[in-house]
Chains A and B, each alone.
Chain A
């Protein structure tokens, strides 16, 4: 028994050391974000010789952080909201229609997941450019297109657990199809909505390539702004690291508040 205790103690120590190693990139980022340019070149590993908080102020201004944070939030919340609503509606309709057609449609949605983004990127930009839709609105619409497949698939799977008798009861009470969906079915889909929401938030919040092709500079999101510090000729590490730190903060805050749901949601999305 004693031997076992020691063994599990050793495993725990090993695990904690590994966790520290996992965190080390963040530690190095933060420590160096407080150094002057000169300090970074002369001593990367040590503590700052003096804490330069100015880096953060300058990086915040350079990133136009208030505005880019708002842009990121705006695009993410709107896109994810639309994906949840429309995918749930589609999942519901497909699950309640037991015909060959709906099976086909579901297959089309799943097949669309096989198409990598780069394969449609060039014509997409050119088509939406012609329609004058290279802006936030266009981007949100595109996210619906790219995000709905997986979401519909998840909703469709979750619908099997919701009995048809509920719908029928509501119809007898005089509700129309949409009222049934909105008041009866959608609330029951809550758990899966959380999963769908989390998966899409992680993806859209961090997405770089699509918005970089679509958004005008005035609506740039946080990842797009990151390139500022990596000028064509100069790399401003002291500012870049401060900027990176600032950019990560919202994510860490969100993670802190909803880590259980996030981990569960991600695992659910993957395993299904």
Chain B
């Protein structure tokens, strides 16, 4: 009883305090109080998707703020098992719009068209490498600036390959790959492997975006814009896609449907339990965290054999920076200035190469400084023209890649759907969306 009394007293005191607070608290916590900040101070809200560079990016922003005292930059990084796109949509719907945000390609451009500032007059747009702007170019307008380049393929464990007596140069066609996989599988025990592959079928972006892209892009001549305007899709290379999926599934650590990226890269590949994984240069940091020595010396990347494109690596721009045109002119200008500084100033360039470990999408970078072996290799592929440009999955009907094709592939892999149905249902959905 006594207890109750004092408990209640505390509650009532809190209440009174709280009610006193109400009056003075609610006036300044709204999401858009830019007008209230002092006259010469500009606030730029950035909303970016790359979790991997969160800390490094925030550090760099601090440097920029020190150099430009009149600018305040708030960075929000949305990783989250929930997707960036959804969170961004919610932010726009709620009026809490960022000044700088990320768009993936033509579909996003279409969706946010009303908000996209023309960036053609920026130094960064000038410096962007040929072909990196296709996805966001309209007539003379440039509606986004490339983040970086990324490439993916089969990342392999050099030590295991060596021990098994495999020469990477010999892997050209799909049959070659199949033979190598079988060779490795026979020696699993001696090599200390759980399996040859780790196929993270839990991740829709691996199935729907990356794997599928290699077998869809040729149909549209590797051209994003062409895919974006296509009313239908034939999935000509469907059988090849199936063959490739079956191979990975058969020789993968099971069960694949609960296997996620973290298990694939950190647990299985970094601890040398599998010989190969299909991923891109972005895994380097994760591997490095687990085993620095292995990351620096033990991994390489080889191309996925797609008929007609053997020896090529799909490389492209995963995301673009966009500037919100609806903000004050001052804010728009400050946003452009920041992006220019990020990609064209010495400080920015260094951070892009050494802290973010990006493969730059801009001119005048010292390729020697690319710090990790995977990015270096991909850059080399690019130099000799052995890349497949055009990440067509950014130009499919919204959500089609992951929610339709990816989900159907998941169903196929778990035995709930026949392959023919995967193909027909995905085509059907594409056509329905593009009507």
What is A's interface to B at a CB cutoff of 8 Å? 37-38, 41-42, 74, 77-78, 81-82, 84-85, 125-126, 129, 132, 134-137, 140, 190-191, 193-194, 197, 212-214, 216-219, 227-228, 230-237, 258, 260-261
Instruction: Give the shortest distance, in Å, between A123 (CB) and chain B (any CB).
Output: 12
Q: How far is the CA of A100 from the CA of B32 in the complex (A)?
A: 46
Residues of B within 8 A of A260 (CB): 3
Q: How many A-B residue pairs have CB under 8 A?
A: 118
Judged by a CB distance under 8 angstroms, whether B14 is at the interface is yes
Q: Cβ of A237 and Cβ of B79 under 8 Å apart? A: no
Tell me if B114 is interfacial: C-beta within 8 Å of chain A.
no
Contacts of A213 in B (CB 8 A): 90, 94
Contact of B15 among A85, A236, A237 (CB under 8 A): A85
Q: List residues of B whose CB falls within 8 A of some A CB.
A: 3-4, 7-8, 11, 14-15, 18-19, 21-22, 25-26, 29-32, 49, 51-52, 74, 76, 79-84, 90, 93-96, 203, 205, 260-262, 265-267, 271, 282, 286, 289-290
Cβ A217 vs Cβ B95 within 8 A? no
A-B contact pairs, 22 of them (CB 8 A): A37-B290, A78-B21, A81-B19, A132-B32, A132-B95, A135-B29, A191-B4, A193-B8, A197-B11, A216-B30, A217-B74, A218-B74, A219-B29, A228-B80, A230-B79, A231-B51, A232-B83, A233-B51, A234-B262, A234-B265, A234-B266, A261-B3
Question: Which residue of chain B lies nearest to A258 when distances are taken between CB atoms in the complex?
Answer: B7
Cα distance, A147 to B267, chains bound together (Å):
45
Q: Which residue of A lies closest to B47 (CB)?
A: A217
Bound: A189/B381 CA distance, A: 76
User: B94 near A134 (CB under 8 angstroms)?
Assistant: yes
Q: Which residues of B contact A258 (CB under 8 A)?
A: 7
- Closest B residue, CB atoms, query A139: B29
A41 contacts B261, CB within 8 Å?
no
- CB nearest neighbor in B for A194: B8
11 more contacts with CB within 8 A, not counting A78-B25, A84-B15, are A42-B271, A134-B94, A216-B96, A217-B96, A218-B31, A227-B81, A228-B80, A230-B79, A232-B79, A232-B80, A234-B261
A135 touches B31 (CB 8 A): yes
Contact of B261 among A77, A126, A235 (CB under 8 A): A235
Contact at B262–A235, with CB atoms within 8 Å? yes
A230 touching B80 in the complex, CB below 8 Å, given contacts A81-B19, A193-B11? yes
Contact A214 B94 (CB under 8 A): yes
Q: How near does chain B come to A229, taking the closest CB pair, in angstroms?
A: 8
Q: In angstroms, how far is the closest chain B Cβ from the Cβ of A143?
A: 13
CA distance A84 to B19 in the complex (A): 12
Which chain B residues lie closer than 8 Å to A78 at the CB level? 18, 21-22, 25
The CA-CA distance from A221 to B404 in the complex, in Å, is: 34
Q: Which of A37, A217, A230 contacts B81 (CB 8 A)?
A: A230
For B266, the chain A residues whose CB sits under 8 A away are: 37, 41, 234
Residues of A within 8 A of B83 (CB): 232
A129: B residues at CB distance < 8 A: 93-95
Taking CB atoms, residues of chain B closer than 8 Å to A230 are 79-81
A3, chain B: closest CB distance, angstroms: 40
**Cα distance, A237 to B286, chains bound together (Å):** 13
Partner of A137, one of B8, B26, B49, B265: B26
Q: Which residues of A contact B290 (CB under 8 A)?
A: 37-38
Chain A residues contacting B22 (CB-CB under 8 Å) are 78, 82
- Contact in complex: A81, B15 (CB < 8 Å): yes
Q: Assuming A78-B21, A85-B15, is B81 touching A232 (CB within 8 A)?
A: yes
With A136-B29, A233-B51 known to touch, is A228 a contact of B79 (CB < 8 Å)? yes
Residues of A within 8 A of B261 (CB): 233-235
Distance to closest chain A CB from B248 (angstroms)? 19
Give, as a whole number of angstroms, the nearest-CB distance from B5 to chain A: 8
Chain B contacts of A233 at CB under 8 A? 51-52, 79, 203, 261, 282
CB neighbours of B262 from chain A (8 A): 234-237
A85 vs B265: C-alpha distance when bound (angstroms): 54
Cα of A154 to Cα of B215 in the assembled complex, Å:
62
